[in-house]
Chains A and B, each alone.
Chain A
Amino acid sequence: MKVQVRNLDKVSILDCSGDVDLYSSPRLRESLLAEIRPGGPSVLVSMSGVAYIDSSGIATLVEGLQLSRQTQTRFGLFGLRPNARSVLELARLHKVFAIFENETEAVENIGSTSSGI
Chain B
Amino acid sequence: MRIAIDSEPRLLSILRGVVRFCAREAGFSSSEAECLAMAIDEAAANIIRHTYAGRPDALLALEVTHFADRLEFILEDWGPKVCEELIHPRSLEDVRPGGLGTFFISSFMDECTYDRDFKDGNRLKLVKYLSRKGSPCNEGSSSQSG
- Same complex: yes
- List A residues at the B interface (Cβ < 8 Å): 18-19, 21-23, 50-52, 54-56, 58-60, 62-63, 66, 81-83, 85-87, 90-93, 96
**Once the chains bind, are B97 and A66 in contact (CB under 8 Å)?**
yes
- Interface residues as binary, B120-146 with A (CB distance below 8 Å gives 1, 0 otherwise): 000000000000000011011111111
**Once the chains bind, are A55 and B104 in contact (CB under 8 Å)?**
yes
- List B residues at the A interface (Cβ < 8 Å): 8-10, 12-13, 16, 31, 34, 37-38, 41-42, 45, 48-49, 92, 95-101, 103-104, 107, 136-137, 139-146
A22-B9, A58-B100, A62-B96 are contacts. A83–B42 as well, Cβ < 8 Å?
A: no
Can you name 30 A-B residue pairings with CB atoms under 8 Å? A21-B41, A22-B9, A22-B45, A22-B49, A23-B9, A23-B12, A51-B145, A52-B37, A52-B38, A54-B104, A55-B45, A55-B101, A59-B97, A59-B98, A59-B100, A60-B97, A62-B95, A66-B96, A82-B142, A83-B141, A83-B142, A83-B144, A85-B141, A86-B31, A86-B140, A86-B141, A87-B38, A87-B104, A90-B107, A90-B136
Contact of A92 among B42, B45, B92 (CB under 8 A): B92
**Once the chains bind, are A52 and B97 in contact (CB under 8 Å)?**
no
A50 CA / B127 CA spacing, docked (Å): 27
A22 CA / B146 CA spacing, docked (Å): 15
Contact of B12 among A21, A59, A81, A87 (CB under 8 A): A21
A89 CA / B70 CA spacing, docked (Å): 26
Contacts of B41 in A (CB 8 A): 21-22, 54
Contact of A19 among B8, B13, B100, B139 (CB under 8 A): B13
Contacts of B140 in A (CB 8 A): 82, 86
Interface of B is mostly: helix
A23 CA / B11 CA spacing, docked (Å): 8
Pick from B41, B99, B143 the residue with the most CB of A within 10 Å: B41
**Once the chains bind, are A52 and B103 in contact (CB under 8 Å)?**
no
Contact of B45 among A18, A21, A58 (CB under 8 A): A21
Give min CB distance, A76 to chain B, whole Å: 16
